[in-house]
Amino acid sequence: MSFPFHSCVRAVALCLVLALSGGAYGRPQFQGSTAPEGAAPPASDFAQVRQLSESGKHDEALAQLQELQTKKPGLKGLDHEFGVVYYKKGDYLQTVNSLKKASAADASDNEATQILGLSFYLAGRPGEAVPYLERVQSWYQHANVDASYILGQCCSCAAVPVLL
């Protein structure tokens, strides 16, 4: 019996999320992740956006972020917040676009790196996920076996073209 590709991707992605997050639910709580030092704006800037996103109102959260972007161009952490909301919404390509900007602005944004790896994988681009997931693995010498396995899956998926 063979499994459909998308079911396999979803199962592996779920394992990856659980492996990297320590099984936490809600807002991704990735190992070693904190908001980048000095990059976090006052909590009030993003508090309502986070609340909307946690409630599943992603489009409203994105509208608020766009409004913030208009009112406060260059606000630190804005691209990061866009990326997290897009990730929760399941729009992985938009997640990648936002979090690449966040990473470029602050290379110490570990959460962005981890979510980038997940997003590339979930968007069906495992080859592009590998460098991000390898970075995550390098931070944790005793990383959990599931995370190592999933990184291996990304590597093997990238090496073998998948025909749909």
164 in any annotated domain? no
Residue type, 162: V
CATH of the domain at 124: 1.25.40.10
Report how far residue 35's alpha carbon sits from residue 57's, in angstroms, rounded to the nearest whole number: 22
147 in any annotated domain? yes
Residue 148 has pLDDT above 70, yes or no: no
If pLDDT is split at 50, 70 and 90, which confidence band does 49 have?
A: very high
What is residue 78's predicted lDDT score, i.e. its pLDDT? 95
45 in any annotated domain? yes
Domain of 74 in residue numbering reads as 5-31+41-159
pLDDT in tens, 72-91: 988 999 999 999 999 999 99
With a threshold of 0.75, does the pTM exceed it?
no
Q: What is the number of other CB atoms lying within 10 angstroms of the CB of residue 137?
A: 17
Q: What's the mean pLDDT in 21-43?
A: 44
Looking at the structure of the chain, the number of domains it has is 1
CB neighbours of 100 closer than 8 A, spacing ≥ 6? 116
pLDDT in tens, 89-116: 999 999 999 999 999 999 999 999 989 9
26 in any annotated domain? yes
Residue 22 has pLDDT above 80, yes or no: no
118 in any annotated domain? yes
152 in any annotated domain? yes
CB neighbours of 154 closer than 8 A, spacing ≥ 6? 121, 126, 127, 129, 130, 133
36 in any annotated domain? no
Pick 139 or 79 by higher pLDDT: 79
Report how far residue 121's alpha carbon sits from residue 6's, in angstroms, rounded to the nearest whole number: 12
